[in-house]
Structures are given as C-alpha cells and as structure tokens.
Structure 1
Amino acid sequence: MAPMGIRLSPLGVAVFCLLGVAVLYHLYSGVISNHLAAFRQRRNVDLRDLLALSVEAAILGGKEVKRVHEEKGLQEKSKGKTREGANDPLTMGDLESHRKMYNLIKNTFPEITVNSEEHDSVVDKSLSWSRVIPSEIAEKITGQNEVPAESVTVWIDPLDATQEYTESLLKYVTTMVCVAVDGKPVIGVIHKPFTDFTAWSLGQEANVHARSSYSTTPPKVIISRSHSGQVKSYVHEAFGNSTTIVQAGGAGYKVLSLLDLPAGESMDQADVYIHITFIKKWDICAGDALLRALGGHMMTLKGEEIDYRDAPLNKGGLVASVGVEHKDLLDKLPPWDLEKH
C-alpha cells in the first residue's frame, strides 16, 4: 500500500507560499534595517569639510546681516527680557542670517545636531555648500580628520551683539559657528560682516595669533556693556582698583579683543575677558575653540571646562585668556554665586 501523502488544494498552496514570503520579508527587512542603523551610526564627517562649511555659513549669514542694516529693514522687536532685566532684541538681520546659516549646514549634513540662537519655520532646500575648501584652510589642514556624525554638535549665533546692531555700533557685530565633538569645541569661526574679516580655527590650527605680550598685574579686563556695575566691582575686588576695564558688546568681539588681529581691524585690546552672569553657549563656543587653538582657555569662574553637548545655558560665568597663566587668574577671582545674581 502506498504511503499516504498530504495534498494541498490550490488555495492551500497559495496561502503556504504567502506565509513563506511574509516570513522571509520580515527576516530580510530586519537584517536590512539593522544594517541601515549600523550604517547611520558609522557615518563619519570630515572636520576640514565642516570648517570650510562653517566659514561659508558665517560669511553667508554676515551678508544678510549687512544687507538688512543697509536697507534699514531691521524691523526690531523684543524677545522679552534677559534674566538680568535687559531688553533682548530680535531683528530681521538675526532671522535672515539664521535662515541662511542653519539651512546651509543642515542641508549639507542633515544627520548632525545644529543649535541656533534663533528659531524659524522657514526651510530652504535650495541652499547648498559650494564644496570649496579655501586655500588657507587647505594649506593648514591636511589629511583626513573624520569623526562620527553622532558625536558632532554645531552651535550657531546668526548675529552676535544684536543690541549694538540696532544702535549702529557695528564693530561689535559678528556671526559665529562652532563645532563641538563629544562636547569639546574643536572648530571656531567668528566673522565680522562689516569689515569682512573671518577668524577660524580647527584643533591647534588657526588663521589668527595671540599677541606677543599680555599684562596681568593688573590685566586690562573686557566686560559686557550691559549691567557693568557688578562686574566692575567683581573685577576690582579680584585685581585691584587700578585695573582698566573695557566695556564692549558681543562675546565674539570680546574674544577677538584678546588676539593679534590685522591692522585694518578697529578693535579694543584686552588681556582677560570676564562674564559673571548666565550666558548662552552659541555666544561663547566659537571663541572657546579659537582660544584653545592658541593655547588659551575659556572656563567657568570656578575653573571648569564648559560642555557643549546639550543644554544651551552656561550657568557658570566665564573667564577667558590667552598668553597668560590662566590658573593665576582663577586663583584671584573671589567667590561668586551666579544663582543669586
């Protein structure tokens, strides 16, 4: 007697085949999705490319800042009051610069985190990086400098010194881009749109230099134009009543005042930059990177390094210098409770 077999109707065969296909689909889709996830995690970006892009973004934003001011189209309004009670203005210069800078960087590297001082719903997919590496960058930065995309955080300040911008104190105005890797600032770009000067750094390379000498007995200290009374008292307590204090707008400008800039740049000069209230990281990250490249420091008043991974607010104040013994400066600073001020 022949062994009994299992016979499937045509419908059964069709169902069996469909089940097989479904099983294979889920198996392969899982494998493919895992491979795609692994690919995304392994995606690297080259820091030289990011530097060239950051310079291009800062210059592009600067052109908008200058254009809006020349066309007298500021359309100034207030974002409210700062924690210290000062007016926090917003202009079309801020917004137009943000739109150019933010969209250019996100269109080029959509997988990296980009934080900007301004927020806007305008998306411009037409902006694309030129892919040009400026000659001065190509000469100084050679070889590959790749880092994982997920380790990168970019901080944009589309218009630093907005208050001064509204007052036509244009020497203080800058646009800035900073690239942090695992929270450490490695690329800094500070662009002055009204003189078309750009300072940049990557790692230990930069197109600017520290001055040949600095004074610390006492230093010349640069501080914010806003709420200078408390800062003056703090500085005099730290370094003595004979200390010269320079008031200026813009964190980017204050960092540049510590450096040796070309003769055509009309700048105040200072030995130390001190800030004793809360400050946002897009204001200071680029300057931090520049100072590090030159062997300088930007730390909290307690001597802590600033982490640029996530939260935008630096609550520790700051003291910045280059070409001096930074620890000696920190040792002279009196205790200061930022939460109470």
Structure 2
Amino acid sequence: MSTSVPLIVKLLASSVSVANRAGKIVRDVMSKGELGIVEKGKDDYQTEADRSAQRCIIASLAAQYPNINIIGEEDNPDTEGDVPSDWIVIDTDKDVLSLECPSSLQGVKEEDIVVWVDPLDGTSEYTQGFLEHVTVLIGISVNEKPVAGVIHQPYYKTLIDGEKKMGRTIWGLQGVGVGGFTPAPPPDSLIITTTRSHSNALAEKGLQAMNASQVLRVGGAGYKVLQLLEGVASVYLFATSGCKKWDTCAPEAVLSAAGGKLTDILGNYYKYGASEQRLNKTGVLAAVNNELHSYALSKIPEELKELQSKK
C-alpha cells in the first residue's frame, strides 16, 4: 500500500476489501445452517454471522490502522478472541485506491477517525430468509461527520462473463461520489421505504402524514438507502427511535456522496463521534436529494416533531 495515498482513501479501499470478506463469512454461516441465534432484546437478535463478520472487520482494520477508534454493534465477548488468519484482510481495492482525495480530507489522521461497523444489518431478515435485505456496513466519520462508507450486499446476484457472482459492494466518499453502481433518479410518485420489523404507533403516524402512493416495508437501514439510490423509493422514513449510529453512518456517507441527505425527523444531522450515544433517538429521514428531503420534512406533523424533540 503506497504511503503517498491519503489515509481516508486507504481506509476506504481497505474497508471495501474487508466488507467483501465479511460478506462471504455471512454466506458461509447461512450455508452451514447453524445460525447460533442469541436474543439480545425484544426483536433484537444476534447470529454467528454477526459475531464472526464483526471479528473479521475489526481485526482486519485494527491491524492496519491501530489508532483508529472502531465501534461495532456486537459488543459481546463472543466477538473477541483469536481470529482465523484467513479472516484478516490486508488487501485494498485498487479502484478506490486510485481516487483523488478531496483537499478537505487529505490531512486527516487516525486519531480523527471513528469507524462505525454493523457486521450484519438486517439480522431479523437474515434469520427469516429475506436475504436481499442484508448488508454489511462500514461507516467512516471524521470529526463527528460521516465522510466515507461501504454498503456490501452479500446476496446480490450478478452475471459476469456468463458466471453467477454473489455479492455487491457500493462505496461513497465525500467530494468524490459513489462507486459500485450508478444511482438512478427517484420514482415519479412519492414512495416511502420504512421498517418491516420495528414499527410502532408513532412510526405509523409519520408514514400516514406523507400521503405516499406506496409504502415499502423492508429490513435494514443499508438496504433502505440503496432503494433510494436505485430509484425504487423516494424517501426513507422511520419517525421514532430504534436504529443506532452503526446503522446510519455508512448509509449516510454513501447517500451524501451521491447528493442525498439523511437527518433525524427534526432535520438535524446526527453526530458520529466516539462519545456520542449509540441510539438515534429522534428517528431517521432520508432522501436522494435535498428537495425531496425538504418536502418530506414539511409533511411530518409538528406534534410528532415536538414529541421526538423532548427525548
């Protein structure tokens, strides 16, 4: 790895390669059929795939970038300990490595960075067989702001030279754009994507206020943001607390790099410093462009905003 490549670009290139390996681990656990499910809380599950993928990601990044603060979802002792040597990834994605780093990020040091890791976003869907919803998320924040991110889909199927390939990796870098696919324009009508497994009365009230032509209920913050970028949905709304920083750091970074916007339902950006609370208390509102985001923000009832702002 060339020392002349700025740290942020190197870290993103490493994260792409690591996410690919973590995605294979996720598939391997499923193919063996022993998911090792643990219930962490109500409707909150952890599997062997969560644990193993996190061990792979954290061990690989920590080995190369020892002074970076890495925060993973699975803060369980079972995610620590010896890591198999073939899980330690030192490769870097050559396409990402060749990117020109924005001037604002060229001087970033390891101590300025917090990496937020969700090794398997959409665990509930994973256990129920909705595998297309599953993503591996690695978000890179500098001075509390998401600046780069990786969304890997382990079960995305593509044909390359007549052969089926599993997995797709999409990345975003502030000031550069996105790679791995080409974003599509939003649909002509207002289509909302939201949770399929963590809804409640407040969340439903926010959805009703949108008067959308269609509501898509899917799993995982990563998958919802991909629906925005692929032109499947117009807005991603979850009008109450529930998701965490590791759910939204990478998706926000990728969406922002594509010209989109992700905030809470009050229109405020979340901060991603290491000392910030993990829970996104005031919900999530995202859209593929500022115009759609402003429109959706204006439709959320003031009483709902006031209720969330008191949390």
Query: Scaled by the length of structure 1, what TM-score is found?
Result: 0.76
Q: 1:274 maps to what in 2?
A: 237
Q: 2:92 maps to what in 1?
A: 132
RMSD: 2.3
Q: How far is 1:197 from its partner?
A: 0.6
Stretch moving more, 118-127 or 299-308: 118-127
Q: 1:15 maps to what in 2?
A: none
Q: 1:75 maps to what in 2?
A: 36
Q: 8 Å contact 1:79–1:89 — kept in the other structure?
A: yes
| Greater C-alpha Rg | 1
Q: 2:205 maps to what in 1?
A: 233
SS of corresponding position for 1:257: helix
2:190 maps to a residue whose letter is P
Q: 8 Å contact 2:26–2:53 — kept in the other structure?
A: yes
Q: 1:106 maps to what in 2?
A: 62
1:287-302 map, 5 Å: 287-302=251-266
Query: Scaled by the length of structure 2, what TM-score is found?
Result: 0.83
Out of 287, 297, 301, the position equivalent to 1:334 is 301
Q: How far is 1:313 from its partner?
A: 1.5
Aligned residues: 281
Q: How far is 1:139 from its partner?
A: 4.5
Q: 1:182 maps to what in 2?
A: 143
What is the alpha-carbon distance in structure 2 between the residues aligned to residue 245 and residue 60 of structure 1? 33
Stretch moving more, 224-233 or 276-285: 224-233
What is the alpha-carbon distance in structure 2 between the residues aligned to residue 173 and residue 132 of structure 1? 23
1:165-204 map, 5 Å: 165-195=126-156, 196-204=167-175
* Unaligned runs of at least 5 residues, structure 1: 1-43, 82-86, 262-268
1:122 maps to a residue whose letter is G
Cα distance per residue 1:189-227 (max 9 Å; x no partner): 000011211110111321144323444xx6100000024
Q: 8 Å contact 1:232–1:245 — kept in the other structure?
A: no
Please identify runs of 4+ aligned residues in structure 1 that moved more than 6 A: none
Out of 81, 84, 88, the position equivalent to 1:122 is 81
Q: 1:206 maps to what in 2?
A: 178
Cα distance per residue 1:47-80 (max 9 Å; x no partner): 1110011111211111111000000010112112
CA 1:133/1:62 → structure 2, altered by over 3 Å: closer, same or farther? closer
CA 1:130/1:118 → structure 2, altered by over 3 Å: closer, same or farther? same
Identity over the aligned pairs, expressed in percent?
Answer: 33
Out of 277, 287, 293, the position equivalent to 1:321 is 287
* Unaligned runs of at least 5 residues, structure 2: 157-166
SS of corresponding position for 2:90: coil
Q: How far is 1:277 from its partner?
A: 2.3
Out of 9, 12, 20, the position equivalent to 1:48 is 9
1:322 maps to a residue whose letter is V
1:236 maps to a residue whose letter is Q
Q: 8 Å contact 1:45–1:148 — kept in the other structure?
A: no
Q: 1:255 maps to what in 2?
A: 225
Q: How far is 1:338 from its partner?
A: 3.6
